[in-house]
Amino acid sequence: MQAGYPKLFVPVKLRQKYYEAIDLHNVKNVKEYCEKMFEVFVEQFKL
Of 1 and 9, more confident: 9
Helices and strands counted in the chain (H then E):
2, 0
Q: Tell me the C-alpha distance between 20 and 4, whole Å.
A: 24
Would you call 20 helix, strand, or coil by DSSP?
A: helix
Distance, CA of 25 to CA of 45 (rounded, Å) = 23
CA 2 to each of CA 5, 6, 46: distance values in angstroms, whole numbers, following the listed order: 7, 10, 28
Residue type, 19: Y
Q: For 7-24, write each residue's pLDDT tens digit.
A: 777 889 999 999 999 999
- What was the pLDDT predicted at 29? 93
- pLDDT tens, position by position, 32-41: 999 999 998 8
